[in-house]
Every structure is written in C-alpha cells, then in structure tokens.
Amino acid sequence: MQLSREALLKAYRQMKTIRLFEERLHDEIALGEIAGFTHLYAGQEACAVGVCEHLGPKDYIISTHRGHGHCIAKGCDVIDMMKEIYGSRDGLCKGKGGSMHIADVNVGMLGANGIVGAGAPIAVGAGITAKSNGTVSIAFSGDGACNQGTTFEAMNMAVVLKLPVIFVFENNHYSEHTGEAYAVGAESMTARAAAFGMKAIKADGIDFFSVYDAMRELIDHCKAGNGPASIELDCERFYGHFEGDPQRYRGKGELERIREERDAIRTFRQKVTEAKLLDHGDLDAVDAEVAALIDRAVAESKAATRPTAADVTQDVYISY
Amino acid sequence: MASKMIRDVIRDTIDAEMARDDSLIMLGEDIVGGNGAPGGPEAIGGIWGTSGGLWAKYGPDRVIDTPISESAIIGAAAGAALTGKRAIAEIMFADFIGVCMDQIWNQVAKFRYMFGGKSRCPITIRMPYGAGYNAAPQHSQVIHQFVTAMPGLKVVMPTTPADTKGLLAQSIRDDDPVIFLEHKALYAVKGEVPDEDYVIPFGHARQVTQGDDITILATGMMVGFAEKAAADLAQDGIGCDLLDLRTTSPLDEEAILDSVERTGRLLIVDEAPPRCSLATDLSALVAGKAFSSLKAPIEMVTPPHSPVPFARELESAYLPSPEKIVAAAVRLMSYRKV
C-alpha cells in the first residue's frame, strides 16, 4: 500500500460510484423506468477500479455486457452514462447503444459489448496502437467469455505479435446461469492463459489492493516489451445475470453470504481504516458526495431530451 | 499510363497508400509468409500475389503476418482503427467470413452507430471471392449479398485495373468500414492504369456499353460475361446499356433508374444464388420505382439455389454465362403482353 491519501480517496470514490450507480439502477429498473437488458456490475468494483487506476486516456480498455463498472472506472461521464441507459438523446451514445454498448473512445473506453467474447480480438488491435504509443490495452472478460474461441484467437495472436495486452478475467463464478465448475474445462483460466505462453497470475477480485498491486506488475511486464499477460480475479456478482433474473441457480444463503463476507467496498473500508490511512469520516463524506451525484444523474436522465424518429438513421456512416 | 494486372494494381496501390500514410497497417494470413520457416519471411507475399515486397519495405509492425485466426484478424484491425490507425485486413477467401462474421457484422459495422457517432473505424477488409477455379463449395462463393445488407458497411467490387486503383485508394482513405471484394478470376485481367494519384468516389456505376433496348446490371466477373453477351446481341441489332455497379453499398440508384426508364427492359446478372440476393434487391428497386417504364418482366440470370459445385462441368453449369445472358435478353425482347 503506497498510495497517497488522494489516490485512496479517488479509488474509493470510483468503487462507491459504481456500487451506488448499480444499486440505483436495480431500483429504477424494478419501477419499470428503463427499457431493455441491463447487467449489473455490483460486487466486482475492486476489479475495474484496481485495473483502471493505473491507466491514462491513451491506455485502452474493452469491456463486456456487464460494462458499467469498467466505464465509470475508465472515466466515462457518469451522468451521460445514466442518460444513455435511460435512452436519452443526450446520452453518451445518443440513446443508440444503451446499457450494453456504452463507450467513449476519447477516454480510451472502446465499448461495453453485447457479444460475449467479442472484446478480446478488438483489444489486440488496440494493443497494436498501444505498442506504438508505449501504453497498454486491457481486455476485460468473464468466466463466460473465457470459453469463446475468439478469446483463444486473441490470446494466441497477442503472444505471436508480442503486444502489450492484458487479459483480465473476472471470475464471478457464473457464465450467465451456469457455474464455472461446469463450463470452464481447464484446471483454471490462469492455467489456460499460461498455456498460451503468457505470464498469468491470480488476484483477489474483492480486494482493491490485491488487484492494484498485481496489475502494477503486469503493466510493467507488458511495457518492458515482454508481450501480453493475464490475470484471473476471483470476485462475486451481487445481482443476477440480468435484471429480472430469479437466480434459481444460486445456493441457499449464497447471496447473503457473499454480501456479508465478500464485499469489495467493505473490504476497502476495513483495510484503510485499520491501517489508519483514512478514517470513517473521510469515507462517509465520499459516500454522501457520490449519493448526491447519482441522485442528480437519475433526475437529469428523467428530464433529458428524448430521441426522435429522425435520429434513427443518423451516425450509421460518416458519409454515404 | 501503364498496362497492369489487377493483382499488381492492388499491391502497388497498397504500397502507395502505406507510403502516403504512416498510420496505415495491414494484417492477414501469409501476406508475408515464411515467418518461422526455413524459407524465411517474404516466401509468399500473399497467396494472391497482392502484398509482395511490402514487409521488407514497411516492416513487421505495419505489415503484420497473422496466425490463421480470422476473428482476431478483423478484431485486431478494428481495434487498431478505433484507436487512431488505419487498417487493411485480408481474409484469404471471402468464404471464411463465416468464422469472423461477428467481428464484421456486430462490431465493425455498428461501432459508430452504437457509440453515438463518436468513433471512427477506418478499416478496409479485402476479400478474394468468387467461382471459376473449381475450388469447390467452401472456396468459391460470393458474399456481397450478405455484406450489402449490413448497415454501416460499404461494399466495393472492382472489375478493371483502372477502377481497382481508384476504388482501393478511396476504400483505404475512407473513414467508414469498407468491404473490398476482389474476384479471384479477375486478378490476371490486364489493362491501362493512369500513373497519377486518383480516387473513384463510391456510388457511381460505370457505363460499360450503351444501348437503348435492355439495361443490364452486373458486378464482378459477371460484368465481363455481360459485356461479351452485349457484343453478341449488338450483332443482332439489340442495344445493351450495361452498367458495372462498382459499389453495391452505396448503390447508384439514379444511374439504374435513368437507364431502365430509357430502355424499358431490365436484365440482372448476379453470381449469388437467387434468393434474397443483389438481383432480387435490384429487381425490387426497379419494380418499385420504375414500374411504369417496364415493357417486360425483369430477367435475372443467377446460379441455382445450390452450393458451388467442384467438377468443371458442374461449375460451368452452375455459373451464369454469356450464352445464358443472351438467352435471357432474347426472352426479354420477344416478350409480348397477352
């Protein structure tokens, strides 16, 4: 733990923003306020933030269908994100993408993605650019995407071309509604990634510091010209695969247990207060500030401009 | 002005564009060839001879030989293009689109739209396509009908060396994703190519022959077949207005409708099987917008609803031919309303 007080507060603020963003969405969706499919990231905050706190705007990430956390961690505007999820014309993607396609290329966020496993090949391409810029490219995937052939192709090509790409596998133990123990045929995702010929490690995905420290090592490894690397993050999904998922595949008491024992926000608070790096007052102040931001985001989204039929055919091409 | 084969025009145009724009990269299987092998790099230079010498000139960071991984080729080109590069991806046979369709259809074609118009993905996906080589069902197909149906993509099908140069330069410089389809049977076609730098804008058909009796619409290898048929028909006094569409997306609707309004007869030659194809699409366009001009039902010369067969006799029977086009033209001219 060598982070400054400011850096710790920023990391906490990012994690708390993700948590409250998702909890609020859960409530608003239940009220019928939001259209379409939404996949919440709550529970996995330490993964996105532990990775992205190392990155600048010229580092790239590509995300998944469960992408809100990665977007917030990489610096997408939270209010514009909320407007996008509400389908507003003022949203980050003008209401054309919604929850599953939030992107902001200007901050190096190359998109959430509705196709499981589609991101890793694109991250390889961003890795080509990153190699020429001295930056890195991150492919976020889950334990579902890790079984897609596209992910295998991407890992092999990144090794062959020695690209600075880091494959981050967030293992929340469920690919949609099927357990990792069934669907991942390998001994582990880490063993599989190592077999492709890259440095492959694990970290505790509910502990920001575990993720952050491991990523420092991998980013240094990639920037030194050693080719790609992989990290598997053991984490928990606090909600279902999608909002409305009855989660019949969960064990009895499982959700209560992971919320009690495997909470990334609580873990962070406990570590920094015990080490006397921050006190509860500092953290409570961040909580209040973030809650106000989310309230504002929802209020502004509900009042934001709706798109019109004339918008349907805009932005298909640059020129046609 | 020099006389060149289409395959050399492609190589030379890529060379000129690489020299012109440092951000341009290209990726594909065996576009260098020989890496990791005793024969050494540049043993191949692309199996179609379209990238020879480029690796030596621009280096491995810009001319990127890839494993056989079509999804990763398209994804890598797309990711590079999204982050500031300009990219050419070669898919060795267009038939292999089946293993990278998601990256083309759900990713490349939709980025700009899904991201609210805030991204650009300047990528040219080059795909050698088409029958005529007895290459059997998985190495002989056309795919323009699929990609033309996908909003977000532009689709280019050059047929002459001079057009290849101008259309490829435009494709590479275009800020939207372009599918550039190279007919395998046309690689050795030779013709005059202007020396100076030029681009041919998309959406402008090429008038191949002029005539007042029948409008013929064709793309790719079908243009040459139709040109031969038109020459035969001219001997019998039937004048054909033959348009090489050049790009199927965007489509030169104006040239098509102007011609049909003048001739009153339409014959479409398409290398795709007949269902949900370019031929049916063009037919619907004309039936909807120039119905009152038509003097006869629209004729479509296409392969049957069948895969492309292997044996010489079968492939010949499958493909449209100048003779089949002439026969359709005669049917059109002899049609009388009952």
Return the structure tokens found at B26.
């290209």
Q: Tell me whether residue B144 is in a domain.
A: yes
Q: Tell me whether residue B200 is in a domain.
A: no
Q: Tell me whether residue A318 is in a domain.
A: no
Return the structure tokens found at A115.
């196709």
Could you say which of A97, A122, A314 has the minimum Cβ distance to residue B75? A122
At residue B338, the pLDDT reads: 72
At residue B39, the pLDDT reads: 87
Q: Are B79 and A137 in contact (CB under 8 A)?
A: yes
B138 and B286 both lie in a single domain: no
User: What's the pLDDT tens digit per position in A73-122?
Assistant: 999 999 999 999 999 999 999 999 999 999 999 999 999 999 999 999 99
Is A129 close to B71, i.e. CB distance below 8 A? no
Q: Helix and strand tally (H, E) in chain A? A: 12, 7
B119 and B214 both lie in a single domain: no
B241 and B181 both lie in a single domain: no
B180 and B294 both lie in a single domain: no
> Is residue B84 scored above 60 in pLDDT?
yes
Is A305 near chain B, with CB under 8 Å? no
Q: Tell me whether residue A39 is in a domain.
A: yes
Question: Which residue is associated with the tokens 């090949």?
Answer: A121
Residue A179 φ then ψ, to 5°: -75, 150
At residue B83, the pLDDT reads: 98
B148 and B232 both lie in a single domain: no
Q: Tell me whether residue A114 is in a domain.
A: yes
Is B138 near chain A, with CB under 8 Å? no
> Is residue B252 scored above 70 in pLDDT?
yes
> Is residue A316 scored above 90 in pLDDT?
yes
Q: Tell me whether residue A110 is in a domain.
A: yes
Q: Which of B150, B170, B193 is the last residue of a domain?
A: B193
Q: Tell me whether residue B199 is in a domain.
A: no
B234 and B257 both lie in a single domain: yes
DSSP states along B246-277: SEEES--HHHHHHHHHHH--EEEE-SS-STTS
- Can you give the residue range of the structural domain that contains B154? 2-193
B175 and B212 both lie in a single domain: no
CATH code assigned at A226: 3.40.50.970
Q: What is the mean pLDDT of residues B246-270?
A: 98
At residue A2, the pLDDT reads: 81
B128 and B88 both lie in a single domain: yes
Residue B175's closest chain A neighbor by CA? Answer: A318
> Is residue A66 scored above 60 in pLDDT?
yes
Provide ipTM, 2 decimals. Answer: 0.95
Return the structure tokens found at B47.
């199996």
End-to-end CA distance of chain A: 53
Could you say which of A123, A149, A320 has the minimum Cβ distance to residue B79? A123
Closest CA to B268 of B298, B224, B290: B298
Could you say which of B74, B76, B102 has the minimum Cβ distance to residue A115? B102
pLDDT range class, residue B41, cuts 50, 70, 90: confident
Q: Tell me whether residue B180 is in a domain.
A: yes
Q: Tell me whether residue B198 is in a domain.
A: no
Q: Tell me whether residue B219 is in a domain.
A: yes
B186 and B253 both lie in a single domain: no
Within the 150-179 window of chain A, which residues sit less than 8 Å (CB to CB) from chain B? 150, 153-154, 156-157, 160-161
Q: B250 to chain A: which residues are within 8 Å by CB?
A: 320
Catalytic residue (one of B139, B183, B204, B305): B139
- Can you give the residue range of the structural domain that contains A217? 5-308
Long-range contacts of A278-285 (CB under 8 A, 24+ apart): A278/A5, A278/A8, A278/A9, A278/A12, A282/A9, A283/A12
At residue B86, the pLDDT reads: 98
Is B83 close to A319, i.e. CB distance below 8 A? no
Could you say which of B80, B106, B116 has the minimum Cβ distance to residue A93? B116
B176 and B33 both lie in a single domain: yes
User: What's the pLDDT tens digit per position in B115-165?
Assistant: 999 999 999 999 999 999 999 999 999 999 999 999 999 999 999 999 999
> Is residue A172 scored above 70 in pLDDT?
yes
At residue B43, the pLDDT reads: 81
pLDDT range class, residue B44, cuts 50, 70, 90: confident
B204 catalytic residue (yes or no): no
Q: Tell me whether residue A320 is in a domain.
A: no
Is A160 close to B176, i.e. CB distance below 8 A? no
Q: Are B182 and B10 in contact (CB under 8 A)?
A: yes
CA distance A190 to A193: 5
Q: Tell me whether residue B306 is in a domain.
A: yes
Q: Which of B166, B193, B220 is the last residue of a domain?
A: B193
Taking one residue from A and the other from B, the number of pairs with CB-CB distance under 8 angstroms is 155
B123 and B264 both lie in a single domain: no
What is the domain count for chain B? 2
User: What's the pLDDT tens digit per position in A40-52?
Assistant: 999 999 999 999 9
Is A125 close to B82, i.e. CB distance below 8 A? yes
Q: A125 to chain B: which residues are within 8 Å by CB?
A: 75-83, 85, 87
> Is residue B71 scored above 90 in pLDDT?
yes
What is the domain count for chain A? 1
At residue A1, the pLDDT reads: 53
Is B292 near chain A, with CB under 8 Å? no
Q: Tell me whether residue A158 is in a domain.
A: yes
> Is residue B60 scored above 80 in pLDDT?
yes
B182 and B213 both lie in a single domain: no
Q: Tell me whether residue A30 is in a domain.
A: yes
Closest CA to A264 of A49, A4, A9, A8: A49
Is A128 near chain B, with CB under 8 Å? yes
What is the DSSP pairing of strand A165-171 with strand B123-129?
unpaired
CATH code assigned at B278: 3.40.50.920
Residue B266 φ then ψ, to 5°: -130, 130
pTM above 0.90, yes or no: yes
Q: Are A88 and A119 in contact (CB under 8 A)?
A: no
Q: Tell me whether residue A20 is in a domain.
A: yes
Q: B152 to chain A: which residues are within 8 Å by CB?
A: 316-317
Q: Percentage of residues in chain B with pLDDT exceeding 90?
A: 96
